[in-house]
Amino acid sequence: MSNSVLVSIPARLAGDVDCENLVVRSRSCDEITSAYKTLGDRVNGVELENLGEDLSSLTALPLGLPVRVKLHPGDAPHLYTNTWLGDRFSLEVLMDVDKGLLQGAKIATSNMVPVTVNLEEVSDTGELMSALDYYLHDTHVQVPVEFFHSMITACLRGETVSLLDLYPESPVEFLHVDESGRVSASARLARAGRFLGTISGGLKIDEESQLYEDLLHRKKTLVLSGSKCISCEGFDLCEGYLRFVDTNFDCDPFLEVFSAIKVTAKEIADDLAKAEELGE
């Protein structure tokens, strides 16, 4: 396993691994700061799983450290109580796909905090399209909402960025350690009970396992399994990400979003071309 792999690990377990690039996560700020004190520069970022408690101990973390707050949309107003986080850290919100997504995205972006839609926590997709609509058409949005932002900007450049690029599950790039110390390639794979190894006696993964093979060669796996994903209109933007864990996942709201992104990118490209023609 390469030293460059980014490992997301509960803060209380972080001292048990000797990896160089760690993202420590916890609901407790004290656990996070304590892990940072022990691990120092090996901590590349932190993920805070709660905004409710007193966050003052985070002041012990270095300025500019990437801090990702995992947030249910209903808790987004807390961002305004803790605006100092954005002044001090490279702050981002990982927002669950649930009721209130539109309001949550509006609150975070109004406070100039970038948002990433958390595709590992999808409960209710009812507001996904309205969140995209807000991102595309509200003139005051000045920070990215991912995955919308990267997909549209890529389309405008004539390139493609897929969900797999934005939510990497490749074990050569990213590993996720769960609360029990078991290693997977993402939180959703861990919840589905699909593991690559453990951290007992140091972080080890089984590079001969079927899961490892599947993760490294997704397209091949999809073709060999006869998956319908291959012929899906949204495959270029999804690459089989949505149904990788649950083959019955309802992709329709996402396909609607992908389609809107492509249409919008085309409209913008046409407008830009026209403007260039007119010499504006």
Partner 1 sequence: MFGPQVSVIFVPTFNCNCNCAYCFEPRSHESISLEELSTVFSRISSYLAGSGVRQVDVYWQGGEVMVLSPEWCLEAGRSIKSLMSNHNLKVKHFLQTNLMDYEPVWDPVIWELFDGTLGSSLDYPNVHRKFRSLSGHSYNAHWEDRFGLAVSRGLNLNVISVPNLETLSLAPSDFYRYYADELGLKSIQLNTPFAAGPASQLADELFLDPVRLGDFLVGLLDVYFSKDDGVRLDPYEGIVERITMGDAAAKVPCFFCANCVSGFFCVGPAGEVGQCDAWLGSYPDRNFGNLLECDDLGKLLTSPARMKLAARTANLIRNSECLDCQYFSLCSGGCPVRTMSAKGSPDHPDPYCETYKKVFGFIEDHVRTNPKKWQGWASQPVEKSRSLVWGWPEPGAVVFSSFECTNNCIFCAPAYDRSKNPPDLDKEIFDFITKSSRSGIKTLFFTGAGEPTLNPSLVDYVRFAKENGIDNLYMFTNGYGITEELVLALTDAGMKNFWVSLHGLGETHDRIVRRKGSFVEAFRAVSIINDISPERLSVNTCLNALNLDQIEWLMEKILGFANTTAHCLCLPEWDGNAYVNRRQMCRLAPLKRKLAAITSQEYPLTILDNVPYCIAPHLPHIGNCRNEVRIKRRDADDMVSNADNMGHNDTPEACLEARCRHIDDCVGVDRRYLEEYGDEEIQIWLREPPLVDINSL
Q: Which residues bind partner 1 (CB under 8 A)?
A: 54-56, 58-60, 63, 76-78, 80-84, 86-88, 103, 106-107, 109-112, 138-140, 142-143
For the bound state, the minimum distance from the C-beta of residue 80 to partner 1, rounded and expressed in Å, comes to: 4
Parallel, antiparallel or unpaired: strands 43-48 and 21-26: parallel
For the bound state, the minimum distance from the C-beta of residue 134 to partner 1, rounded and expressed in Å, comes to: 11
> Which is nearer to partner 1, 50 or 221 (by Cβ)?
50
> Which is nearer to partner 1, 112 or 273 (by Cβ)?
112
> Which is nearer to partner 1, 90 or 225 (by Cβ)?
90
> Which is nearer to partner 1, 10 or 86 (by Cβ)?
86
For the bound state, the minimum distance from the C-beta of residue 70 to partner 1, rounded and expressed in Å, comes to: 18
> Which is nearer to partner 1, 106 or 188 (by Cβ)?
106
Using DSSP's 3-state secondary structure scheme, residue 72 falls into: coil
* 161 membership: H or E segment, kind and range: none
Checking phi first, is residue 112 left (phi over 0); if not, alpha (psi -120 to 50) or beta? left
For the bound state, the minimum distance from the C-beta of residue 159 to partner 1, rounded and expressed in Å, comes to: 24
For the bound state, the minimum distance from the C-beta of residue 272 to partner 1, rounded and expressed in Å, comes to: 14
DSSP state of 27: S
Distances in Å between the alpha carbon of 27 and those of 32, 50, 71, 91, 100?
8, 5, 11, 16, 22
225-257 per-residue burial string, b: 16 or more CB within 10 A, e: under 16: eebebeebebbebbbbbbbbeeeeeebebbbeb
Q: How many CB atoms lie within 10 A of CB 276?
A: 9
Phi, psi of 214 (to 5 degrees): -65, -40
For the bound state, the minimum distance from the C-beta of residue 73 to partner 1, rounded and expressed in Å, comes to: 12
Q: How far apart are the first and last CA of the chain?
A: 52
